[in-house]
Structure 1
């Protein structure tokens, strides 16, 4: 037990340090996670024996649920809408075209059996959301003509189609699934979409009507992601499609504490990516890679320069996409974790393939992330597709949280100095802005002439404070000073360098402290004090 915890801690620290190194070296972090897995594995330095495909399939499948869910949750539909039609066509028909062309190549060039060729094309037909998202974010790669949104939406939504093709291939090979292909396709698409959207809709109702605090909302949405996968999967539907669609609906709905949810799922998805890529590297045997290098390189080259471009140009040119955009989208067809996980599913299910499918797909994904991923920023610049006046963060739902702005609100009471004054005459700091005014049930977008009334709720934006270590906050329970109970704040004998900034009541509510605020039993004071002992 202790040794396992030591190993897990060491692996996570190593992956995090590798991620930091990848930003400086310009190498995709996911590639380093995979390399670390190989380093720890049977043929590596630590020689950890691991060849249990069924255990790996179960672990990676669960991790993939949250990658799919967050792929939808983090997609900002407003930014993605202009590219939605192109992305959906590419993530459905594009996957089918890529799979069929790859299958033909495997059959007539590499000599695989017909079913093994189709299975190989199916598992490798989708682009990898984790790889695409990671590169766009880490390289801050904003692209022209809504190309970033197109890639995000396509890579997030095409894995369910690849999964469905894989299930069809396994069914044709007599390994699990339904013998009625028409029903299987219907169930995968309809049950997956309907139940995933139903879970999301019900979750939105619960989040809006119930007050969930102290992290319970994050746990609730975590559970919703599991249900969005498990319910469709239990009745023959596509669980990954359900999880992705639930993520889109939840991520673009107006629900409380969305910024906290973004932080939670960002960390959870990062952990899932580390887990998948490290485990896949651990499962691989590097000594077997030379034996599959020739077919893997051949398939990778065919995918990169024939199958993917053919699908992209065939499907995007009717949308009047430019030649440069089609070339960039073709190059950005990165293969990654999902393809390897689907290959593991086939092997864990007992499919008779006739070639080393896992290591072939592993090698293809390794080459794709290493070469295509590393050169994606270079190709984008060479094609003049980089938008220097925009930010790729705008295409994600956590854009507002990434901006260096803070929103605060306060109510204008009777007799307030701003009552009856236009916004333009209020003495706001130079870097503050009144974003909106809530007046009863009405929301106003103010201008300089908007007159403020008593009872208005003002929402003001200010730059986020960047902690320089000069101020610290700590909690001070009133129970530790029982003589304070029933007294006002102005009556307290506090040091000059200490300021009460918030009063947290026992019932979970908070109060902004004033001199006349009376302290109650169970209150907790949040106080500010300078780290250097000087007033904050």
Structure 2
């Protein structure tokens, strides 16, 4: 046990320290995590034996649940709303087009059977949330025209289509019978609808529940949220919906409202997201045998070129044909189609599925393609953004507050009376407008910073910033101060 804990800790420690290389030289951190896993595996320096694809798939599923929730939880709903339609088209039609084109090339280049060729295309068809979140959010460059939210939303919502296509083709290979297409598309629509509805419902409930439950210790709030995400995924899958869409949407809608400890919880789940990324990439690095990769190097390189320069651009241009994005922006969107953890997880499914003759070839090729994608596309994102002219001008300038006029006329003092309706409530429960800020509270001789968990009491003297006298009076009346 002691040796296992030391080894486990060292693997995570090396992964974290290697992320410094990522920051310095622009190599995506996920590639560092994979490298650590490969070095620790059976063909590496440590020589750990691990070849259980089922465990790897299960670990990947759990990790992806929290990666997607963390990604949604750290995403502003205001940013996602304008890109919802194009993002959804990319996440559905884009995946199908990309899978079809890639499958066609796999049939002629790799000489795989027809169904296995399109299985290959389905597995590699989705962009990866972990990779895209990691690369975009570790990059200081701000993109024009809501491109970053579009790419993040697409990567967070296109996994269900890839999973659906993969499982459908695996079923066809196993039973050798053509599906009932009406049932097939009905099930797909049901998965998306139920996943979206469940995600929206939980996303609305989470802030209200956190505000009202009033736990005795702050440390219990992250535990509560971890449990709710697990329940959401399980229940959604149980009723026939897509759990991945549900947890991602729940994160987005939960972020929409204010609640106590929000900043702390968002920070906590950012850490959970990184931990899960390290965990799954280490696991997948252990699963692969690097000595087998040279055999598929040529196939992997050719198919990676097909995906990056043919399948992905065609799928983007078809999906966004009626959108407002320019040709250069579409080319940039095409280039940020990073592949990552999801294709590798899906590539483990054929290893334990009946009837897939080339399962090991598919897994090794997909793994190598992911390495090529993350290394080539992830390291050139900044250059690509500048080349295609999608960098927001002045995005790296320091923020200046000198232009914001604040006078003493904007500051108000208000004392809470004994009949006030807000007594006993906390600040986040009120959901005050953005231009009505409670800066400070005086309670007796004590001055208290009015954070989200601050509860109002009788005789509290509030210092309020509001530059609109009509709005100030209206808010006092509506919220019955």
TM range (shorter): 0.7 to 0.9
Whole-angstrom distance in 2 between the partners of 1:60 and 1:437: 53
Do 1:438 and 1:444's aligned partners in 2 also have CA atoms closer than 8 Å? Answer: no
Give the corresponding residue for 1:482: none
Tell me the secondary structure at the aligned position of residue 232 of structure 1: helix
Query: What residue number does 1:73 align with?
Result: 73
Give the aligned partner of residue 375 of structure 2.
370
Shift of 1:237: 2.6
Contact residue 164 and residue 188 of structure 2 kept, 8 A: yes
CA contact (8 A) 1:126 1:162 kept: yes
- Which residue is 1:7 aligned to? 7
Distance 1:444 1:354 in 2: 59
Q: Provide the residue aligned with 1:395 in structure 2.
A: none
Instruction: Measure how far apart 1:501 and its partner are.
Output: 9.3
Q: Which of the two has greater helix per residue?
A: 2
Q: Determine the C-alpha separation between the residues in 2 that align with 1:436 and 1:98.
A: 60
For 1:384, the equivalent position in structure 2 comes to: 389
Cα drift, residue 510 of structure 1: 12
Q: What does 1:318-329 correspond to in 2, within 5 Å?
A: 318-329=322-333
Q: How does 1:20-35 map to 2 (within 5 A)?
A: 20-35=20-35
The answer (yes or no) to whether the contact 2:34–2:284 under 8 Å persists in 1 is yes
Q: Which residue of 2 aligns with 1:169?
A: 169
Relative to the length of structure 1, the TM-score reads: 0.73
- In the TM superposition, what are the counterparts of 1:229-308 in structure 2 within 5 Å? 229-308=233-312
Superposition RMSD in Å? 3.3
- Indicate the residue corresponding to 1:110 in structure 2: 110
Structure of higher CA gyration radius: 1
1:358 paired with 2:363, answer: yes
| Partners of 1:346 and 1:247 in 2: CA distance | 31
User: What secondary structure, in the 3-state scheme, does the structure 1 residue paired with 2:48 have?
Assistant: coil
Q: Which residue of 2 aligns with 1:132?
A: 132
Q: Are the structure 2 counterparts of residues 434 and 115 from structure 1 closer, same or farther at C-alpha, using a change threshold of 3 Å?
A: farther
**TM-score after normalising by structure 2:** 0.81
Whether 1:201 aligns to 2:181 is no
> Using the alignment, how far apart are the partners of 1:390 and 1:100 within structure 2?
38
Distance 2:256 2:438 in 1: 24
CA distance in 2 between counterparts of 1:73 and 1:280 reads: 25
Q: For the Cα contact (< 8 Å) 1:57–1:348, is it kept in 2?
A: no
CA distance 1:384–1:436, shift in 2 (3 Å): farther
> 1:119-518 residue pairs with structure 2 within 5 A?
119-174=119-174, 181-212=184-215, 213-350=217-354, 352-355=356-359, 356-390=361-395, 424-425=407-408, 458-459=438-439
Q: 1:316 to 1:510 in 2, by over 3 A?
A: closer
1:218 deviates by 1.5
- What SS is found at the alignment partner of 1:118? helix
Q: 1:354 to 1:254 in 2, by over 3 A?
A: same
Residue 351 and residue 18 in structure 1: after superposition, are their counterparts in 2 closer, same or farther (change >3 A)?
farther
Q: Give how far 1:436 is off.
A: 11
The worse-fitting range, judged by mean Cα deviation, of 183-192 and 335-344 is 183-192
Q: CA deviation at 1:435?
A: 11
Q: Supply the distance in 2 between the matched residues of 1:128 and 1:263 (Cα, whole angstroms).
A: 22
Given that 1:94 and 1:312 are in contact with CA atoms closer than 8 Å, whether structure 2 keeps it comes out as: yes
Residues 349, 64 of structure 1: alpha-carbon distance in 2 compared, 3 angstrom cutoff: farther
Cα contact 2:174–2:353 (8 A) shared by 1? no
1:202 Cα deviation from its structure 2 partner:
3.4
Instruction: Indicate if the aligned counterparts of 2:71 and 2:273 stay in contact, CA closer than 8 A.
Output: no
Q: How many residues align?
A: 429
Instruction: Report the Cα distance in structure 2 between the residues aligned to 1:145 and 1:171, rounded to whole angstroms.
Output: 41
Higher relative contact order (CA 8 A, sep 6+): 2
- Change beyond 3 A, Cα 1:107–1:289: same
| More strand, by proportion | 1
Partner SS for 2:37: helix
SS in 2 for 1:30: helix
Unaligned runs of 5+ in 2: 423-429, 449-453, 458-481
What are the Cα deviations for residues 36-68 of structure 1, in whole angstroms up to 9, with x where unaligned?
A: 111111111111111111111111110111111
Rounded Cα–Cα distance in structure 1 between residues aligned with 2:137 and 2:71 = 13
Q: Deviations along 1:105-150, whole A, 9 cap, x unmatched?
A: 1123322112111211111111111111111222212111211111
| Equivalent position SS for 1:459 | strand
Deviations 1:358-401 (A, max 9, x none): 11111010000001111111111112211142379xxxxxxxxx
| Contact 2:142-2:392 at 8 Å conserved across structures | yes
Q: What CA distance in whole angstroms lies between the structure 2 residues aligned with 1:191 and 1:157?
A: 14
Establish whether residue 94 from structure 1 lines up as the match of residue 94 from structure 2. Answer: yes
User: How far has the Cα of 1:353 moved from its partner?
Assistant: 4.0
CA distance in 2, matches of 1:112, 1:202: 48
Distance in 2 separating the partners of 1:11 and 1:191: 39
